[in-house]
Amino acid sequence: MQKKRVVLNYPSHLTDQPVISRLIKNYDLEINILRGWITPREQGRLVLEITGKRPALEAGMNYLKEMGVETQPLAQDVRWHEDRCTHCSACISICPTKALDIDRKRMEVSFHKDRCIACEGCIPVCPYQAMEILF
Ligand code: SF4
Ligand code: SF4
């Protein structure tokens, strides 16, 4: 089984279509909606964690493309500005997935994009605006 975290951008004409339920039903994928904004007659956006066998995942992603839904990896939309980070560790206990982690011996914080679920928990606690979510 493979897991992907992706951001979906919906054109306005698809916001009332059962795109996600078809993805689950027709491609045997598990979908976890991490975040979502869909406004009638406007573009919508969803952050999904999709789990399934590799061929099913590929077929599901092709289906989204054919439907006109743009997808991009979640990691592209979450940024850790290392130059602003003072390694104060205020974010460590907040992050639910250990995407922000600390080496206790060296007191050095690191960011692991692949673990981030874009929950935004770190945004208000970071005093130096070192974390940014671009949606
Ligand atoms: S957005 Fe959430 S999961 Fe991602 S680094 Fe911040 S606290 Fe961790
Ligand atoms: S709260 Fe901000 S400055 Fe402090 S360790 Fe986390 S990312 Fe770095």
For domain 2-76, give the CATH number.
3.30.70.260
Report the candidate in 119, 94, 124, 133 with the shortest Cα–Cα distance to residue 109.
Answer: 94
123 CA distance to ligand 1 middle (Å): 8
How far is Cα 21 from Cα 15, in angstroms, rounded to an integer? 13
pLDDT > 80? residue 132 = yes
Pairing of strands 78-80, 70-73: unpaired
121 lines ligand 1 (CB under 6 A): yes
Q: Indicate the pTM of the whole model.
A: 0.76
The answer to whether the 2-76 and 78-133 domains have the same CATH topology is: yes
Report the candidate in 69, 72, 77, 75 with the shortest Cα–Cα distance to residue 43.
Answer: 69
122 CA distance to ligand 2 middle (Å): 8
62 lines ligand 2 (CB under 6 A): no
Q: Which of 23-27, 52-56, 114-118, 122-126 has the lowest mean pLDDT?
A: 114-118
6 lines ligand 1 (CB under 6 A): no
pLDDT > 70? residue 22 = yes
Cβ atoms of 85 and 130 closer than 8 Å = yes
Question: Hey, where are the domains in the chain?
Answer: 2-76, 78-133
Report the candidate in 13, 27, 70 with the shortest Cα–Cα distance to residue 46.
Answer: 70
Instruction: Give tens-digit pLDDT for 69-127.
Output: 999 888 778 899 999 999 999 999 999 999 999 999 999 999 998 889 888 899 999 99
For domain 78-133, give the CATH number.
3.30.70.20
Burial class (CB in 10 A: 0-12, 13-18, 19+), 86: exposed
